[in-house]
Amino acid sequence: MILVNYLAAVALLCIGLYAVLTRRNMIKMVMGLSLMEASTYLFMISLAYRAGSTAPVLLNPPPGKSTQSLVHGNVADPVLQNFCLTAVVIGVAVTAVFLSVVVRIVQHYRTLDSDRVRDLRG
Amino acid sequence: MTIPALASLLPLPVAIPLAGGVTAPLLARVSRRLTVAVSLIALTGSAAILLLAAPTVFGGRVIAHYMGHWTPVHGQVLGVAFAADPFGLLVALAAAIIGGILLLYTLSELGGLGRRELGGYACLFQLLIAAVIGAALTADLINLFVWFEVAALSSYGLAGFFLERPIALESAFKLLVLTTLASFAVFIGAGLEYAQHGALNFAQLHHALAGHVTAPDTIALGLMLAGFATKAGLVPFHGWLPDVHTAAPGPVNALFSAIMDSIGVVAIARLVFQVYGTGSTPVLGLLMTLGIVSALLGAIMALAQDDLKRLLAYDTISQIGIIVVGFAAGNPAGVAGAVYHLVNHAAFKALLFLAAGAVVHRTGLTSLSQMGGLARSMPVVAAAFVLGSLSIAGIPPLNGYVSLSLIHEGLQQDHQTIPYLLTLASQVITAAALGRAAWLAFFRPRGQDYEWRERLRPGMLTGLVSLGACCVAFGAAGPLVLRRLMAPAAAGLLAPARYASAVLAGSGPIPVLRVPFDYGSPAELASVAATVAVAAVLAWVYLRIREPLPVRALRALHTGSANDYAAYAVTGILAVVAVLSLA
């Protein structure tokens, strides 16, 4: 059931957002953002789903299907899956930068509490 | 040069700075001079190729290139397309040229950087410029998202680059949180659009959306607008902007304010005018509201700041708001004025941030209350700051006058009296804020002497003088610039069908748009005089009173907590989507 995917994506998004909005621990905020990111992947993959479809590979079609029927017919959307690959790569880079910034903040301020790292305000 | 040959050069302005950025850390191991030289050559080369395309494109022809020569089949574009329309080319040119000036300035101000730092800095700098040029030229939704992310990643690096002040780390964290949220919004929006129409190309999406805009399309538009508004720094997505600008050194501020923000503005303008069209959704009203709120809040917060760079950062929010108001007017005068103001903002805000950076560099002071009397010891910097302030205030014959008059004209043509008055009010407050800053920093008498830090170097003076010259030239030659550059740019935005057919056909004409502009319009001159007079009084009064209650309340809203700013941004995203879907 594809609906479950969407519900799971929304649930993940909400859990991640809850963490970002309410947790003051910066590591937990990064985890929340990672959860939200995972939910966008799940959402994209679910958008690419077609009922009863196969993988969009035209060589060596599975038994009972010809290349021609795949071209005209029922395959999962490869473009949305590509989006996910792109976003996964970007997401890894962003998380790395995120965590290194948090590490440097902890070294300077000796705290993980985002509420105590707010010299800039007003 | 034939048009297909010209079009096939379009990826180069992006590829050259990318290559320069990748090689910079390697070159820095060999020699520092070499790194600087190669980086400058990369940006100059990029600008030169853009200039090569300029006569054709500003002559009223959109040219398109398909990556890997995957040309469209039956109106379907499978690959990524790059299309140079006058608007995109203008922003790309501004980014390449002003980026070059800023790089020269930085490497001169930060002459003491070590090899590794210099290599990393030159790399991030060029990546950011490449991302802006890519975003300005691309005609593909997911490619736009990728440039957004490239710019975001390099901005994280630049914001946290100079660790001598821990606040740089704090600001980098807020930038990361807000930009990551924005990237989710853009990503989901782009994915939804693709799932709806099976297309990513702007032209194909334009054709698909021309008939009917369904509910998922509207939600996608709202998400993407909110995401790009974060990059542009519109209220309520602006939490990162003042903090990042307070902590970073002058040239990085100038880069962020003048160049990086334009990614957001370009993307918003393209989506609204060239992809969705303005008729089917209440998007112009939404942009008008966002613009006016940003213009007013930015101006009021600027008036209340003590930190010089933070003041300028809030003013950036205000100016981006004014630009968005111009786009939201939706008529030729307003859109041409907005495009004009975007370019002008790049020039005068870069100038102001460089002047502020020079003050910090020379004296080591950041807060206005400790400064004073700097005009005597730093006359060039003082002159640059005053010139920039006068440009923003819209004093003829400087560049701000022309663009602001056009935006006013656009608002008055459609009898949008309340937006017009609110825009004027925000300008008065902006002028008062900058006047107050100029007085406190440069002209107020100050008793004790300064502890002078570093000297100003020739590269820094070159930067200040060339940006100042841009401000004067774009003002003095206003009607010419308008006719040759800004009117074609507005024409491309206001003729989405022509843009779409050109993107699919490889090239195509856009109609000629005549935007009348009267340099000596008595009404406009009177409004400038009134603005300056009221602003002077306001600045004088504000220097003498305690902080008023509304200002204190607004400051209290900017709590500095990443959680709060994330909450504002999420509320903003939901509100934008809700307004577009329900109204």
- pLDDT attached to residue B364: 84
Give the nearest chain A residue to B568 (CA atoms).
Answer: A21
Q: Hey, how many other C-beta atoms are within 10 angstroms of the C-beta on B84?
A: 31
SS (H, E, C) B253-264: HHHHHHHHHHHH
Give the nearest chain B residue to A122 (CA atoms).
Answer: B555
Mean pLDDT value across residues B379-401:
92
pLDDT digits (tens, 9 = 90+) for A90-116: 999 999 999 999 999 999 889 999 888
Q: Say how many residues make up chain B.
A: 583
Smallest CA-to-CA distance from A87 within A57, A32, A27, A43 is with A43
- A101 and B176 in contact by Cβ < 8 A? yes
Residue A63 within any structural domain of the chain: no
- A83 and B247 in contact by Cβ < 8 A? no
Give the model's confidence band at B65: pLDDT under 50 very low, under 70 low, under 90 confident, else very high.
very high
- pLDDT attached to residue B33: 85
| Cα-trace Rg, chain B | 22
Mean pLDDT value across residues B496-501:
94
Residue B554 within any structural domain of the chain: no
The CA distance from B169 to the nearest CA of chain A, in Å, is 6
Give the model's confidence band at A55: pLDDT under 50 very low, under 70 low, under 90 confident, else very high.
confident
Residue A60 within any structural domain of the chain: no
- A90 and B163 in contact by Cβ < 8 A? no
Share of chain B above pLDDT 70, in %: 99
What's the one-letter identity of residue B279?
G
Got the DSSP string for B111-173? Answer: TT--HHHHHHHHHHHHHHHHHHHHHHHB-BHHHHHHHHHHHHHHHHHHHTT-TTSTHHHHHHH
- B563 and A90 in contact by Cβ < 8 A? no
Task: Indicate whether B456 pLDDT > 80.
Answer: no
Separation CA A15–CA B394 (nearest Å): 48
Got the DSSP string for A28-50? Answer: HHHHHHHHHHHHHHHHHHHHH--
The CA distance from B554 to the nearest CA of chain A, in Å, is 8
- pTM attached to this predicted model: 0.95
Q: Which residues of A touch B240 (CB under 8 A)?
A: none
Q: Which residues of B touch A20 (CB under 8 A)?
A: 177, 181, 563, 566
Residue-averaged pLDDT of chain B: 92
- ipTM of this complex prediction, to 2 decimal places: 0.94
Got the DSSP string for B281-332? Answer: STHHHHHHHHHHHHHHHHHHHHHT--BHHHHHHHHHHHHHHHHHHHHHH-SH
Number of domains in chain A: 1
Quick one: which H or E segment has residue B82? strand B81-84
Give the model's confidence band at B164: pLDDT under 50 very low, under 70 low, under 90 confident, else very high.
low
Tokens of B144: 């736009």
Smallest CA-to-CA distance from B257 within B132, B382, B160, B365 is with B132
Point out the residue among A37, A86, A114 whose CB comes nearest to the CB of B146.
A86
- pLDDT attached to residue B111: 63
Residue B537 within any structural domain of the chain: yes
CA atoms within 13 A on the CB side of B4: 3
**Backbone phi, then psi, for A46, in 5-degree steps?**
-70, -35
Task: Indicate whether B241 pLDDT > 80.
Answer: yes
pLDDT digits (tens, 9 = 90+) for B11-64: 999 999 999 999 999 999 998 888 889 999 999 999 999 999 999 999 999 999
Got the DSSP string for B222-290? Answer: HHHHHHHHHHHT-TTS-THHHHHHHHS-HHHHHIIIIIIHHHHHHHHHIIIIIII-SSSSTHHHHHHHH
- Looking at residue A89, which CATH number applies to its domain? 1.10.287.3510
Question: What spatial distance separates the first Cα and last Cα of chain A, rounded to whole Å?
Answer: 49
Burial B197-228 (b: 16+ CB within 10 A, else e): bebbbbbbbbbbbeeebeeebbbbbbbbbbbb
Contact predicate B411/B420, CB 8 Å: yes
Residue A33 within any structural domain of the chain: yes
Question: What domain range includes position A42?
Answer: 2-54+73-109
User: Where is average pLDDT lowest: B3-7, B40-44, B291-295?
Assistant: B3-7
- CB neighbours of B336 closer than 8 A, spacing ≥ 6? B406, B410, B482, B486, B487, B489, B490, B513, B515
Separation CA B237–CA B229 (nearest Å): 7
Task: Indicate whether B451 pLDDT > 90.
Answer: no
Q: Which residues of A touch B190 (CB under 8 A)?
A: 83
Give the model's confidence band at B110: pLDDT under 50 very low, under 70 low, under 90 confident, else very high.
low
- Point out which residues pair with B84 in neighbouring strands: B63
Residue B551 within any structural domain of the chain: no
Residue B527 within any structural domain of the chain: yes
Q: In what order do the strands lie in the sheet with B81-84?
A: B81-84, B61-66, B507-509
Q: Say how many residues make up chain A.
A: 122
Task: Indicate whether B107 pLDDT > 80.
Answer: no
- CB neighbours of B555 closer than 8 A, spacing ≥ 6? A121, A122, B301, B304, B547
Task: Indicate whether A119 pLDDT > 90.
Answer: no
Contact predicate B271/B221, CB 8 Å: yes
pLDDT digits (tens, 9 = 90+) for B189-231: 999 999 999 899 999 999 999 878 899 999 999 999 999 999 9
- pLDDT attached to residue B309: 93
Mean pLDDT value across residues B239-246:
93
What's the one-letter identity of residue B352?
L
Task: Indicate whether A1 pLDDT > 70.
Answer: no
Mean pLDDT value across residues A77-90:
90
Task: Indicate whether B447 pLDDT > 80.
Answer: no
Residue B524 within any structural domain of the chain: yes
Task: Indicate whether B109 pLDDT > 90.
Answer: no
The CA distance from A88 to the nearest CA of chain B, in Å, is 12
Mean pLDDT value across residues B84-102:
94
Smallest CA-to-CA distance from B247 within B184, B317, B176, B167 is with B167
| Cα-trace Rg, chain A | 20
Mean pLDDT value across residues B167-191:
95
Share of chain B above pLDDT 90, in %: 76
Question: What domain range includes position B314?
Answer: 282-476+514-544
- pLDDT attached to residue A75: 80
Task: Indicate whether B112 pLDDT > 80.
Answer: no
- Point out which residues pair with A108 in neighbouring strands: none
pLDDT digits (tens, 9 = 90+) for B47-62: 999 999 999 999 999 9
Point out the residue among A33, A43, A115 whose CB comes nearest to the CB of B180.
A33
Give the model's confidence band at A4: pLDDT under 50 very low, under 70 low, under 90 confident, else very high.
very high
Contact predicate B101/B39, CB 8 Å: no
- A108 and B567 in contact by Cβ < 8 A? no
- pLDDT attached to residue B200: 92
Separation CA B358–CA B366 (nearest Å): 11
Residue A90 within any structural domain of the chain: yes
- pLDDT attached to residue B450: 76
pLDDT digits (tens, 9 = 90+) for B359-371: 888 888 889 988 8
Mean pLDDT value across residues A4-28:
95
Give the model's confidence band at B390: pLDDT under 50 very low, under 70 low, under 90 confident, else very high.
very high
- pLDDT attached to residue A74: 75
User: Where is average pLDDT lowest: B261-275, B292-306, B509-523?
Assistant: B509-523
Task: Indicate whether B308 pLDDT > 70.
Answer: yes
Number of domains in chain B: 1
Q: Hey, how many other C-beta atoms are within 10 angstroms of the C-beta on B76?
A: 11
Residue B340 within any structural domain of the chain: yes
Contact predicate B424/B353, CB 8 Å: no
Mean pLDDT value across residues B140-153:
94
Residues in chain A whose Cβ is within 8 Å of chain B: 17, 20-24, 26, 29, 33, 36-37, 40, 43-44, 47-48, 77, 79-80, 83, 86-87, 90, 93-94, 97-98, 101-102, 104-105, 108-109, 114-115, 117-122
Q: Which residue has the higher pLDDT, B18 or A66?
A: B18
Point out the residue among B169, B180, B194 whose CB comes nearest to the CB of A104.
B169
